[in-house]
Amino acid sequence: MKGFPLSRLVNPQLIALIGVLALNWLLFPGFFRVTWQDGRLFGSVIDVLNRGAPVAILAIGMTAVIATKGVDLSVGAVMAVSGAVAATLVVSGYPMPVAVAAALAVGLLCGIWNGILVALLDIQPIIATLVLMVAGRGIAQLITEGSIVTFNDPALVFIGTGSLLGMPMPVVIAAALLVLVTLGVRRTAIGLFIEAVGVNRSAATLAGIKSRVLLMMVYALSGLCAAIAGIIVAADIRGADANNSGLWLELDAILAVVIGGTSLLGGRFSIPMSVLGALIIQAMNTGILVSGFPPEFNLVVKAGMIIAILLIQSPLAAALAARLGRRRRAEK
Amino acid sequence: MRKSLRPLAATVLIFIVAYGLAIANFPMMASTRVLGNFLTDNAYLGIAAVGMTFVIISGGIDLSVGAVIGFTGVLLAALITWFGIHPLVAFVVALGLAALFGAAMGLAIHYLEVPPFIVTLAGMFLARGAAAVITQDSVPINHEFYSFIAQLYFKLPGGGRLTFLGLLMVAIFIIGAIVAHRTRFGSYVYALGGNTTSASLMGVPVARTTVSIYVLSSVLAALAGIVFSFYTGAGQPLAAVGVELDAISAVVIGGTLLTGGYGFVLGTFVGVMLLGLVQTYIIFDGTLSSWWTKIVIGALLFLFIVLQRLVFAASAPGGKSSEKA
């Protein structure tokens, strides 16, 4: 399999992010203004980081899944389930650590369920995770009994709206998770194993990689990431909304991973680049809001961006560029 | 019985058993009124699911279906209410636009070699966004043609109504089944889903077939959008969110293999009816909350996926599990 010539370009994702930010700055001159208030930073850029954190966290888990040639459609629904669990437990009087631990455990369980379907029953990932995507939101509604469970537990709310060293908590959590998972994957052989399974699962298995265990781990990680994102979103709005929490965020997470340059066909992957992808998406969303464009343009712009990325990454564009290059040389 | 027909047989069997249980609990479920409403209420889903069946048999997926339904509704409302265009002309415009939209997605999938998942995801954003750009509000459609179609039905014995919309869905299913199983295009679709490379070596026009499949799916989605606008009598940009998931569920429950190359259009019909049955049962019961619909559909999906897995693992011994895509 041919590698994607990412390393040879000067990182198109970073250029794209800078481009989007520069555009935001042109449309809204105060975009980069950051102020210190009440012991934390405020500003549009901080907002991009803060709002982008849930998708970035999802993208961390999703990158590993996609690197194994899979996909996890259930993350949005798992977010709703974990948020519902955390909120319901806190409301019934359990302390915050118990509620958060339970929510994380539920997310892990959801991930392991997906892993069982994919690794043990050999079901196509898109379909295997579709089951939980459809049923998960129903389960979340079952937990909250159809209502939006609101809470005021200061410890839990802190996860969503608090700050540490001036940075909002979601950003701190996302950054910590990014460092942890990246080190865990790259400082050990796990990253290599994930790539091997993604490129060719049977070859990897024959080479002695326990591909089933690995796949289970990867889906469990994705479930855990979804649970963390779910807790953050619930804590942010001080309530668990089973219907809307994490709705369609699985698509944003997949998009972030694709923008980050990880191939949907498995193999090569980069977790920091996926997080960068999530930030690009959020920078665009925030940019459209602060620049005064009506928010309904958001989806159209997003679609336009995907199309542009697909065109640039496609083999057709590469062939066209090569032919143009040859013709120009021939004319000389 | 052929082994490959087992998933279809299982779907039909489960539908009969489920319907039998439902009738045992609520005898009124057997009335022609309920049966007529089954067809009418699920007409849009069924029509969209026929297109989805073709896409999935060819080994692809179309996430843009719900967004196309929403866009079509808004477009129709804008054309009819704002510009005073006759609904039939508006329908032609909507179907034509959808055909172009599907062709663009098919071209992107074939020539850019991008997975259908991502291309149709972009399509979903585009269609949903375009609908929101036209209007943010619900635009009512008041036209005598709409009330005329809504009044168009046969009376069944027992007070049931066989509506034009319900019959339209049945007709689309029959035409879809004939196209899938009895035409050259149909066999191309199956060949593509089996193995694109072998299909192209055998002389299947891969590009033309891929584009046609997505045109078909988008046009049927637009038709579903037209049907949907008859229920609501309005165009709303957030209408039919998530219908693609229901359509995919119906296709899978109907026995079509998600890896492509195998499936039945008529199985999808039973799948749609089974989804409708779950919903109707929950309405009849009254004590069950709406979220049980999602859980039951998820459980059904799980059941059928595992069932297919077991049947196909049994019929193709040796090394099948190793080359999953």
| % pLDDT > 70, chain B | 94
Is pLDDT larger for residue A16 or for residue B281? B281
| A167 bridge partner residues | A164
The pLDDT tens digits for A37-90 are 777 777 778 888 888 899 999 999 999 998 888 888 899 899 999 999 998 898
Q: Do B321 and A124 lie within an 8 Å CB cutoff?
A: no
CA-to-CA dists, residue A267 to A5, A70, A73, A192, A199, angstroms: 14, 10, 19, 9, 5
Which of A248-257, B27-36, B124-133 shows the lowest per-residue confidence on average (mean pLDDT)?
A: B27-36
Q: Is the pLDDT of residue A280 over 70?
A: yes
Q: Is the pLDDT of residue A2 over 60?
A: no
Question: What does the DSSP 8-state code read for residue B298?
Answer: H
Interval A216-222 mean pLDDT: 93
* pLDDT confidence of residue A157: 83
B141: alpha, beta or left? (left if phi > 0; alpha if psi -120 to 50): beta
B3 falls in which pLDDT band (50, 70, 90)? Answer: low
Residue A247: closest C-alpha in chain B: B242
Judging contacts by C-beta atoms under 8 Å, the chain A residues touching residue B248 are 130
The pLDDT tens digits for B39-71 are 888 999 999 999 999 999 999 999 899 999 999
A141 falls in which pLDDT band (50, 70, 90)? Answer: confident
Burial code of A129-166, b = ≥16 C-beta within 10 A, e = fewer?
Answer: bbbbbbbbbbbbbbbbeeebbebebeebbebbbebeee
The pLDDT tens digits for B8-30 are 788 888 888 888 888 888 888 77
- Structure-token pair, residue B5: 């027909």
Would an 8 Å CB–CB cutoff place B82 in contact with chain A? no
Q: Is the pLDDT of residue A233 over 80?
A: yes
Q: Which of B74, B111, B125 to mutate to test the interface with A (most CBs of A within 10 A)?
A: B125
Is pLDDT larger for residue A331 or for residue B148? B148
How many residue pairs from chains A and B have C-beta atoms closer than 8 A? Answer: 138
Rounded distance between C-alpha atoms, residue A207 and residue A223, angstroms: 28
Under 8 Å between Cβ of A214 and A300: no
B322 falls in which pLDDT band (50, 70, 90)? Answer: very low
Interval A215-228 mean pLDDT: 93
Would an 8 Å CB–CB cutoff place A293 in contact with chain B? no
Under 8 Å between Cβ of B73 and B234: yes
Q: Is A41 helix (H, G, I), strand (E, B) or coil?
A: strand
> Across A152-166, B149-163, B213-227, which has the greatest mean pLDDT?
B213-227
Is pLDDT larger for residue B303 or for residue A325? B303
The shortest CB-CB distance from B248 to any of A130, A137, A142 is to A130
Would an 8 Å CB–CB cutoff place A319 in contact with chain B? no
**What ipTM does this complex have?**
0.76
* pLDDT confidence of residue A331: 63
Please name the residue that has the structure tokens 């009418």.
B40
A162 falls in which pLDDT band (50, 70, 90)? Answer: confident
Q: Is the pLDDT of residue A26 over 90?
A: no
* pLDDT confidence of residue B321: 39
Under 8 Å between Cβ of A204 and A196: yes
The pLDDT tens digits for B179-238 are 998 899 999 999 998 888 888 888 888 999 999 999 999 999 999 999 999 888 888 888
Interval B269-280 mean pLDDT: 89
The shortest CB-CB distance from A121 to any of B123, B130, B306 is to B306
B3-314, which class in CATH?
mainly alpha
Residue A133: closest C-alpha in chain B: B298
Secondary structure of A77-89 in the HEC alphabet?
Answer: HHHHHHHHHHHHH
* pLDDT confidence of residue B50: 95
Q: Is the pLDDT of residue A236 over 90?
A: no
Interval A194-215 mean pLDDT: 84
> Across A100-114, A276-290, A294-308, B239-253, which has the greatest mean pLDDT?
A100-114
Under 8 Å between Cβ of B81 and B141: yes
Rounded distance between C-alpha atoms, residue A131 and residue A134, angstroms: 5
Q: Is the pLDDT of residue A322 over 60?
A: yes
Amino acid occupying residue B138: S
Kindly give the interhelix angle for B164-182 and B206-232, rounded to the nearest 10 degrees. Answer: 170
Rounded distance between C-alpha atoms, residue B121 and residue A251, angstroms: 8
Q: Is the pLDDT of residue A225 over 80?
A: yes
The pLDDT tens digits for A183-193 are 988 888 888 88
> Across A2-6, A227-231, A288-292, which has the greatest mean pLDDT?
A227-231
Under 8 Å between Cβ of B186 and B53: no
* pLDDT confidence of residue B51: 94
Burial label, A266 (beta-carbon count in 10 A; 0-12, 13-18, 19+): buried
* pLDDT confidence of residue A175: 92
| % pLDDT > 90, chain B | 33
The shortest CB-CB distance from B309 to any of A121, A145, A258 is to A121
Q: Do A300 and B299 lie within an 8 Å CB cutoff?
A: no
* Tally of CB atoms within 10 A around B80: 24
* pLDDT confidence of residue A10: 58
Q: Which of A186, A243, A210, A240 is nearest to A63 (CA)?
A: A186
Q: Is B247 helix (H, G, I), strand (E, B) or coil?
A: helix
- Structure-token pair, residue A200: 């060719």
Q: Is the pLDDT of residue A171 over 70?
A: yes
Q: Is the pLDDT of residue A9 over 80?
A: no
How far does the CA of residue A82 sit from the closest CA of chain B (Å)? 16
* pLDDT confidence of residue B21: 87
* pLDDT confidence of residue A123: 81
Q: Do A135 and B248 lie within an 8 Å CB cutoff?
A: no
CA-to-CA dists, residue A249 to A272, A303, B205, B208, angstroms: 19, 15, 37, 34
Where are chain B's structural domains?
3-314
Write out residues 50-79 of B within 8 Å (CB-CB) of A.
Answer: 61
| DSSP string of A77-137, one letter each residue | HHHHHHHHHHHHHHHTT--HHHHHHHHHHHHHHHHHHHHIIIIIS---HHHHHHHHHHHHH
Judging contacts by C-beta atoms under 8 Å, the chain A residues touching residue B314 are none
Backbone angles phi, psi at B238, to 5 degrees: -100, 15
Amino acid occupying residue A211: S
Backbone angles phi, psi at A37, to 5 degrees: -145, 135
Question: Residue A156 belongs to what H/E stretch?
Answer: helix A154-161
Strands B161-163 and A149-150: unpaired
* Tally of CB atoms within 10 A around A32: 13
